[in-house]
Amino acid sequence: MTSYHLPDQEHQQKLISLFKELGQIKDLNKKKLARVVKKYPKSPGDLFNKYELVTAYRQLAGKHGLKQIQSQVMRYLRKKPIRTSSGVTPITVLTKPFPCPGKCIFCPNDIRMPKSYLADEPGAQRAERNYFDPYLQTYNRLRALDEIGHNIDKVELIILGGTWSYYPELYQIWFIKECFRALNEYGKKDSRNDILKHYKKMNKKLNQMKAHPLSRNPEKNKQDLQEKKIEGKNLEKTYNQTISEIYTAPEKIGGFDQYQTSNWEELLAVQKINETATQRCVGLVVETRPDNISKAEIIRIRRLGATKVQIGFQSLNDKVLEKNHRGHDVRAIKKAVKLLRLAGFKIHAHWMANLYGSDVSGDKKDYHKLFDDKNFRPDELKIYPCSLLSSAELMQYYQDGRWQPYSYEELLEVLSYALVNTPEYCRLTRVIRDISSADIVEGNKKTNFRQIVEQHLDKLGQKMSDIRAREIRHQKFDEKAVQLTEVTYKTNIGKERFLQFVVPQPNLPDKIVAFLRLSLPKEKPFIKELENSAVIREIHVYGQAVKIGKKDRQRPQHLGFGTRLIQKAKEIAIAEGYKKLAVISGIGTREYYRKKDFKDGKLYQFMILD
């Protein structure tokens, strides 16, 4: 599982003593850790680093009387505990550069990336270094997180890049199959070398064809493609044309697209293995446009294993959508939301402030509509204020004075309004896109703007109650203080009941420990197996991700909150007259639901209600 091996008996002895001493320390902190690490050097003048400590600890845990101190030491050694504080480890993978049907004027045209991504973004760089290969990206990310001590048992796989539904179906199946294969093989088998050999062969052929070779070196790619880079002000060729010329066409001529192809049987086989694998995919997210959502598309992505869709609303104003060349209207957004809801999907919307054609008061009105109008009401939201990027067409609008980025004060006003007016059932996953300041020509360059807004609201005595602001994270709590509360709201297909276990806080919004989204549709579903069903769209229990099957007292995972929420959902569904309770389960959660008396259907799992 790891590449670090304990070198010899002497080092092992040192590490055991080191861990034992750490285990005896109350309130371990940086200083105390450093003192103990210094006391047991690897060799004179050479100390064990965090990676070595974590890896060695994993190998030694359970032996030499170290088991009882594991959680304290491991908790401290985790470098970035925030990443898994929501109970699940997110792994983001990017699809390859590929044409997109959209022509949005704000969208960057970085031909090294799938549409809308920039090569400087950290996730994008990781993807580029892995040839955008799904297996390599997933495996290497698992390894990196594992090495710094994260628990990687429960993974939410987030597939980003352009418009997912526009990629060929066989590529989509292959992409997801390879992600699952990496999850299944991690810690048991390693196919990375075989895959790398394949890319080497492909490159040799591309060179012979005098086509653009694939490189794992972002700097080399940058130089190679510099002269082809499309600037918004000089759109000689569009992103789509360039991508087709330098990637898609040679791939076809060289027959490489055959490699990135799979079939449903192969996908089903790796999904089956993942149901009981060590690293399970508990949620799968794809990203698309509202006008690419149809009944057939929803059934297809459900077959792929998707549980959530990231979908660009961007604006709820037809004029603004038109001015930005979005290529769809608000009606398309309403329709997409309705279809996704009827299929029980979680809806993760993207909304943009400061778009061409809008202003501060227009943005506030638009944001109000997002939650006031039952046609929208997303479960999660990314707020992306429009950034001025040199490769986007918007650059022309800026240069001829048609569009200006918001001032600091204007941005603060819109985002403060948004943060305060996000309801309890929605999770604000992002407030500013993590774009390198070097890529932004003009306007806000602060990626910590969320913090700035939070501090501003704090001064004004205003509170935020969205899910992210209320997550319990690493805080311990008294189980007896936990209460079940509920938010009920109307949707465009019926009613939604958001059940939550919370810990009340004096003068502050309640902390959230666990929640369940229960959809009570009044409209006939287009998927037959959902007829007469209430649908559990999500169950989430917070706390540092806990190994499947292990208990950690006083932290919320495995304290039975999930079971209690399901029981409550069942009671509600019966009282509301439904015959079945369905769940849109992730592949890696199927076993969990089977143990909770859910039976497998074709695309969902069900409980028949008495």
Q: Which residues bind ligand SF4 (CB under 6 A)?
A: 100, 102, 104, 107, 115-116, 162-163, 289, 312
Q: What is the smallest separation between the CB atom of 117 and ligand SF4, expressed in angstroms? A: 8
Q: What is the smallest separation between the CB atom of 581 and ligand SF4, expressed in angstroms? A: 36
Cβ partners under 8 Å of residue 28, min gap 6: 22, 72, 73, 76
CA distance 375 to 372: 9
Phi, psi of 18, deg, nearest 5: -60, -50
Q: What is the smallest separation between the CB atom of 432 and ligand SF4, expressed in angstroms? A: 17
> For the chain, give me the number of helices (H) and strands (E)?
22, 14
Q: What is the smallest separation between the CB atom of 165 and ligand SF4, expressed in angstroms? A: 11
Which two structure tokens, joined as six digits, stand for 173?
A: 């199946």
Q: What is the smallest separation between the CB atom of 333 and ligand SF4, expressed in angstroms? A: 13
Residue 190: which of 146, 124, 127 has the closest Cα?
Answer: 146
Cβ atoms of 435 and 121 within 8 Å: the answer is: yes
Nearer to ligand SF4, 352 or 587 (CB): 352
CA-to-CA dists, residue 77 to 5, 51, 54, 66, 173, angstroms:
18, 9, 7, 15, 37
Q: What is the smallest separation between the CB atom of 98 and ligand SF4, expressed in angstroms? A: 10
Buried-exposed string 559-588: b where 16+ CB fall within 10 A, e elsewhere: bebbebbbebbbebbeeeebebbbbbbbbb
Nearer to ligand SF4, 76 or 313 (CB): 313
Q: What is the smallest separation between the CB atom of 337 and ligand SF4, expressed in angstroms? A: 17
Phi, psi of 182, deg, nearest 5: -65, -40
Nearer to ligand SF4, 143 or 326 (CB): 326
Neighbour order of strands in the sheet with 580-583: 483-491, 494-505, 508-521, 533-541, 580-583, 605-608, 599-600
Nearer to ligand SF4, 150 or 323 (CB): 323
CA distance 204 to 297: 37
Nearer to ligand SF4, 18 or 311 (CB): 311
Q: What is the smallest separation between the CB atom of 555 and ligand SF4, expressed in angstroms? A: 38
Which two structure tokens, joined as six digits, stand for 18?
A: 């080191």
Nearer to ligand SF4, 310 or 544 (CB): 310
Q: What is the smallest separation between the CB atom of 289 and ligand SF4, expressed in angstroms? A: 5
Nearer to ligand SF4, 289 or 497 (CB): 289
Which two structure tokens, joined as six digits, stand for 472?
A: 């319990």
Nearer to ligand SF4, 103 or 456 (CB): 103
DSSP 510: E
CA distance 380 to 348: 4
Residue of this chain nearest to ligand SF4 (CB atom) = 102
Which two structure tokens, joined as six digits, stand for 534?
A: 């209430």
Nearer to ligand SF4, 162 or 562 (CB): 162
